A and B are shown apart, each in its own frame.
Chain A
């Protein structure tokens, strides 16, 4: 039964494809995520099932970390789909959206559960390509541009991963390599893994697709993109690098530095943005940077690897759910303009910023502890990075809230029915702290938020001309602007061949 659940988890979204045309298509799309959720709760870690005739011979299985990934990912897929179900009616565009949504969902589950190279790759490719359909959904010029850049980066990642996997298979002689078998990887193999998952994770330099794709996609798609899909890079690294068995100092240092750079640079790049979803996208780049940085330390210190990897997983769960709630919140606020929805939005924002007693504070504390326990020469630097980026995150979220507040008006009623899935997600985040251990310090976690609040209030009061002049000056996707030919191609967004009535959630 447990084994069958591991299959049903990714098979159900595919089977649901047959029903997307019916009038219950929207509800069924949300329900399609249910078997994965059940599997994440019911199936005990260590369960696996072999299907020797599928692909090159597959194994689906669940370990403790994968179980957590499956849990928060399936929650997000379900609630984000429920969000659309509450907001739209049947039309051809909605059907197409559901098809790509279900395909991406299936791919996401398949790569979490796929223990062999081929099924992981299938899941990775399926998810990556299907998400293209979500990014370009509204058909505007900017979405098509975002889609093209997303697609090019995704294909690069996929082909890099294919050849990394071919090398792993050749070297280890098995489709299901254990961490011990992964010892002794060559430069080419690890470079390809870094490239493939670096793109997916939005590591700085490879992140250009992320601030474009997130705002282009409809709200529920942004939620799963940021909450679930970019997190798969972490699983990829955890599964195919020899964590805990071999110290790869140079590679670890590379991840550490690149991750830290991303965590820091995301703040100045995100603050001048004018679209709240772009601000959230840069915040995701920053948070992913923090996690990549911690994984880098784990790669340097095999003794501490297990602890750091487990903590990063918990951190990913917290970030996935809160970021998902923020993106869905954008949709709820935009459709209702209600002040009440704005007040509720404060809650996941503060959780992400790490207010005491929220999952943000707890996971940050756990990560600090794991980093310090590694007793590496870099431990202290990372500890300080976590503190500094806490201020940065809080600032980004202040900017986000400011932009969101401007969308609200007085005397708008609260959209109870259509906000129900969102409220569900918010209550999960409310309960999330109880899932984590630890007693975080009140002062240490309040301080960054207080500092950020003071800066934000001062900035709003004084409105210094020099800072205001920067607003809107950083184009979303920053580095991609260097490739101006891409822009010329899309310079005419109302191109008659492509334009279509956009559908917004």
Chain B
């Protein structure tokens, strides 16, 4: 019974237990629920801090339960899981604060925060999953825990959006499950290992492995919103803002992207996958998704829908970075896992603030909003500039490394035009929003302005989360070369992945 074997389980339970307790709370127990939420979030942050330190010094954290012979539930901390766990934990804390402010007087708060905690538990669980079996378990839990959150408002539109979400993700989960079982029967226990595990196993049929790869990536691609599997994401924007924020930045979409990283790096191994010619099609799919998402985002007047299509595009940078062979592109893809999360959560927080404070849901209603809500709009601006790839915001670092990785892999001829086109498209759908917000004159009346309380532009619990994450997005870019930055950590992973 030492820390090494318990820490991963503790990290998962630090959101699971508060979540279960919250389900039992009566609706009006506002204070107790808030305490439980924040206690869980802060505890997890402290535990993850310990884990970062340990993993950096190459200590091994692993919790393993044998359910049946050859079937282990494994929680294991390697550099990659630490990257994702840290992202989830930090953003969960911020989102919890935001959600408390957002749902101040809404009904069904216990149900909401209960599933919210379960959602994070599942995310952290799949981040720490040490083998494919464990990953699939948490992946399915995530699907189910998120469904009530998407449907939370209970309107016909919300129920419809949630049903579409569920149809897609359950089908995706099924594909993933079939792929995982198939691979399990071929190759035995699939404990993740840097450099992959399949290349060491003798006598595997390469054609079969290609089919399995297709199944796994299709299953994961649904959550990662790879075109043409992305249809649920723009529909799911009916969810409350904190849910959208978490869904786009950490939980569902990222779980898919993270799964792709795991399968390519730690199951197949990047060089082995490349030798099977599996990565080029993935790169093409990612490139198509990047362009398609941006093009669709151009014409959306609904702010959250525009952001949703932007997510479709941006998350595929991760897949693109993974699919380009070479340590530098790996760094680009992995660091974007963090950067996209921090920037996108900022944008969704801001969108939520506009909706809650002024009733603004559409881009065309945003004229002059910068003067009414400068803090929120500044945060939104930073997030948007980061998405375009303007330094010093974090997105620049991602683009730099993915571009550099493409040159390294000799793929610059087609990757660079994709990146340039995508950057220009990002500019074309984000900059008009900024122009409206800062340069246009506000119309006489906001669609549905809430009464102003206090000196701040909106509720403090709504204002500070986007400001904080915007600051993180700048810090991650501005201090990219500093110790413990996401970039440094991604370089550590790439170094250890390619050390074999």
A interface list, Cβ under 8 A from B: 52-57, 92, 96, 118, 121-122, 125-126, 129, 133, 136, 139, 151, 155-156, 158-160, 162-163, 166-167, 169-170, 188, 497-500
Contact = CB atoms under 8 A, between A and B. Distances in A.
B481 A57 contact: yes
Interface in B421-467: 423-424, 427, 431, 435, 438-441
Per DSSP, chain A at the interface is: helix
B391 A53 contact: no
Per DSSP, chain B at the interface is: helix
B371 A55 contact: no
Contact of B481 (A53, A125, A139, A498): A53
Contacts of A54: 478-479, 481
A121 B479 contact: no
Contact of B407 (A118, A155, A167): A167
A160 B419 CA distance: 11
B482 A125 contact: no
B390 to A, nearest CB: 5
A490 to B, nearest CB: 13
Contacts of B400: 56, 118, 162, 166
B44 interface: no
Contact of B389 (A56, A162, A497): A162
Contacts of B439: 133, 136, 139, 498
Interface of B: 367, 371, 385, 389-392, 397, 399-400, 403-404, 407-408, 412, 416, 419-420, 423-424, 427, 431, 435, 438-441, 477-483
B481 A497 contact: no
Contact of A166 (B403, B424, B478, B482): B403
A92 B480 CA distance: 35
A56 B404 CA distance: 13
Given A56-B400, A497-B367, A499-B441, A170 B408 contact: yes
B252 to A, nearest CB: 31
Contacts of B408: 170
A163 B481 CA distance: 20
A155 B427 contact: yes
13 contacts: A55-B477, A56-B397, A56-B481, A121-B391, A129-B385, A159-B389, A159-B424, A160-B420, A162-B389, A166-B400, A167-B407, A167-B412, A170-B407
B191 to A, nearest CB: 35
Contact of B403 (A57, A92, A162): A162
Nearest to A175: B481
A122 to B, nearest CB: 4
B407 A56 contact: no
Given A162-B400, A500-B441, A129 B390 contact: yes
A169 B412 CA distance: 14
A56 B480 contact: yes
Contacts of B404: 166, 169-170
Nearest to B389: A162
A129 B390 CA distance: 9
Contacts of B431: 151
B202 to A, nearest CB: 38
A159 B441 contact: no
